[in-house]
A and B are shown apart, each in its own frame.
Chain A
Amino acid sequence: MTSPIVLPLHEIHQEMGGHLTDFHGFLLPLRFSTITAESRAVRTRAGLFDISHMGRLIIRGANSVEAVNGLITSNLGGVPSGKALYGILTNENGGAIDDIMAYWFSPERVDLVVNAGNRDQDRKWISDHLPPGVTIEDPSPSHVGFALQGPESGRILREVEPGAAALPRRGALLMGSSPGEILVSRTGYTGEDGWEFFGPSETVIRFYRKILAVGLPLGLVPCGLGARDLLRLEMGYPLYGQELTAETTPYDAGLGFAVSARKKDFIGRPGILDASGKPLHHEDHRLLVGFALTGRGIPRTGCDILSGFSGKGVGTVTSGGYSPEAGGGFGLAYVDRPFAQDFSTGTAAVVRIHQQDLPIVFRTRPFVPGGLR
């Protein structure tokens, strides 16, 4: 194993007592206090996350918007400039290469935020499929990213950067100019109101420190990846590598909202939509479902789901966790398509945890009330 990459906010995390972990080759805080306390803080006040491991790719050149639109499932042409769009980068079969956020600021420029572990692969895939004259840049190695999340985020940000605080939900802007330019968007991965920032280390670190200074007295807490994962799971958001893989289509993962049938063509369309634009049903693909335990127990990635009647294996947990707000142990699982239908209408099932079969029930996502989608 090579040592993980130490990111620019590392020193600040150490000052604040972060417990660190290796995530996709990056050394990042798993938690500062406890996962539960940090998650609570984000739902009720505000939390600050280091997301420097996320990749940022910038596409430039005439018709950049069109070029990117040909690679993702959602319709970048259908959103105004300065608005964040969630989409899935798909292979020829409609399987997910990554799930991304896309922003366009002019027809000649599209910014993408991609998953840490997929950055190299995404860059290569995109670069191989760009038309001549359109280029891709990867400022990620020298950038810092952070997310300010929670209902009090706006109040904190207003005191530091009123312009960014005034963004509408999903709005985005480029603050400052190159080389100090920062991409700001009112987005996040927690289900709460919040903002995300990406830009060159020095500029963003200064900004991060200001937000800490203003926010700490208002109840802002530094948060780690543990809380980030729990918060996204409470919302039922997918994590690439768990709910999304090269073998899953957006519909398998319940992400049909991110597929634009109106868009005539994008790579992977034939594996996702039929000729008339209706979702294709792959009978052999499993479907992602939400579930919760009726008693105690915490499901984890890889646990088997079995039919309560036949005792046969019908699926596998992709993410699991525990949250008092979600009612205890809960998670996401891929289950056989016919079973998914039965399960959602009340058919009994169990999850096998430490050789014990524990009853589960179907749950709709998000698992916790409220939150923004």
Chain B
Amino acid sequence: MEKRYTPTHEWVELNQERSEGTVGITDFAQQEVTDVVFVELPKVGKSVPRGGEAAIIESVKAAFSIYAPMGGVIISVNQALDGNPGLLNQDPTGQGWIFRLKVTHPEEFSDLMDEKAYQSYLSEGGGQPAHG
């Protein structure tokens, strides 16, 4: 499935029905954050507005807020990050996903950057750390 990106370096991927989204951080963000020590995961059932703070990544360097790319209700969190926060550094766009949400407005997806737009955003200096 296609991933879409936020200016704050989160990615979201929708399921086939476009009802649920999986959220994580990009490889660029992972490099900026470095050395993740743990992740403050959201509570399942919590509702988050688009752009609202949904999780916190604590790295050796600093704390970084993770914002919901789309509004919705948290339906699951990646428990593997509890025992192995390094997954966020090793595989940020795969096994290092952070949470899943039931999206309220699937059409918000199209407001986000696609891969090409995100890459050009990075090359135009959007790469300045937006987190934290």
Interfacial residues, chain A to chain B (CB-CB below 8 A): 19, 30-31, 34-36, 226, 230, 296-298, 300, 321-322, 353-354
- The reply to whether B34 and A35 form a contact with Cβ atoms under 8 Å apart is yes
Contact of A298 among B31, B34, B37 (CB under 8 A): B37
Residue numbers in A under 8 Å from B61 (CB-CB):
30-31, 35, 226
Contact B34 A300 (CB under 8 A): no
Residue on B nearest A353 in the bound complex, by CB? B63
Q: Given A296-B38, A298-B37, A354-B40, check contact A34 B60 (CB 8 Å).
A: yes
Partner of B60, one of A19, A230, A297, A353: A230
Q: Which residues of B contact A19 (CB under 8 A)?
A: 31
B58 in contact (CB, < 8 A): yes
CB-defined contacts of B34 to chain A, threshold 8 Å:
31, 34-35, 226
* Interface positions of B from 51 to 75, Cβ below 8 Å from A: 56, 58, 60-63
- Name which of A297, A298, A321 has the most chain B CB atoms within 10 A of its CB: A298
Give the residue name and chain of the A residue nearest to B132 (CB): A300
Q: Report the separation of the CA atoms of residues A36 and B35 in the bound assembly, to the nearest whole angstrom.
A: 7
Q: Does the CB pair B60–A300 fall under 8 Å?
A: no
Q: Contacts A226-B60, A298-B37 given; 9 further ones with Cβ under 8 A?
A: A31-B61, A34-B35, A35-B61, A36-B35, A230-B60, A296-B38, A321-B60, A322-B37, A354-B63
Contacts of B63 in A (CB 8 A): 298, 300, 353-354
6 CB-based A-B contacts, threshold 8 Å: A30-B61, A34-B35, A36-B35, A36-B60, A230-B60, A297-B58
CB nearest to B40 among chain A residues: A354
A190 and B56 alpha carbons, distance in the complex (Å) = 29
A35 CA to B35 CA, complexed, in Å: 7
**Which chain B residue lies CB-closest to A324?**
B37
Interchain nearest-CB distance for A226 vs B (Å): 6
Which of chain B's residues 64-105 have a Cβ closer than 8 Å to chain A? none
Cβ contacts under 8 Å, A297 to chain B: 58
- Do the beta carbons of A322 and B60 come within 8 Å of each other? yes
Compute how far the CA of A30 lies from the CA of B32 in the bound complex, rounded to whole angstroms: 11
Q: Pick from A35, A321, A354: contact of B56, CB below 8 A.
A: A354
Chain B residues whose C-beta falls within 8 Å of the C-beta of A298 in the assembled complex:
37, 58, 63
Inside 8 A of B35's CB, which chain A residues have their CB?
34-36
How far is B60's CA from A300's CA once the two chains are assembled, in angstroms? 10
How far apart sit A226 and B56, CA to CA, in the bound complex (Å)? Answer: 20
CB distance from A11 to the nearest CB of B (A): 21
Closest to A33 in B: B34
Give the distance to chain A from B57, nearest Cβ to Cβ, in Å.
11
Chain A positions within 8 Å of B37 at CB level:
298, 322
A203 → B minimal CB distance (Å): 34
B60, chain A: closest CB distance, angstroms: 4
Residue of B nearest to A30 (CB): B61
The residue in chain B whose Cβ has the minimal distance to the Cβ of A322 is B37
Q: A34-B35, A35-B35, A354-B40 are in contact. Are A300 and B56 (CB under 8 A)?
A: no
Q: Which of B34, B61, B62 has the most CB of A within 10 A?
A: B61
Task: Tell me, in angstroms, the Cα distance from A296 to B61 when the chains sit together.
Answer: 16
B22 to chain A, nearest CB (A): 23
Cα A35 to Cα B62 in complex, Å, equals 11
Complex: how many Å from CA A19 to CA B30?
13
A36 to B38, CA, bound (A): 14
The answer on a CB contact under 8 Å between A300 and B38 is no
A297 to B, closest residue via Cβ: B58
Q: How far is the CB of A250 from chain B (nearest CB, A)?
A: 29
CB of A35 to closest CB in B, whole Å: 4
Which of B31, B37, B60, B63 has the most chain A CB within a 10 Å cutoff?
B60
Q: How far is the CA of A96 from the CA of B60 in the complex (A)?
A: 29
On chain B, the residues within 8 Å of A300 by CB distance are 62-63
Give the chain B neighbours of A296 by CB distance below 8 A: 38
- Give the residue name and chain of the B residue nearest to A36 (CB): B35
Report Cα–Cα, A353/B60, bound state, in Å: 15
Provide the B112-130 mask, 1 if CB < 8 A to any CB of A, else 0. Answer: 0000000000000000000
Task: List chain A residues, Cβ under 8 A from B40.
Answer: 354
* Bound: A132/B13 CA distance, A: 72
Please name all residues of chain A whose beta carbon is closer than 8 Å to the beta carbon of B58 when the two chains form the complex: 297-298, 322
Residue of A nearest to B34 (CB): A34
What chain B residues lie within 8 Å of A34 (beta carbons)? Answer: 34-35, 60
Closest 8 CB pairs of A and B: A35-B60, A34-B35, A298-B58, A36-B35, A322-B37, A34-B34, A322-B60, A36-B60
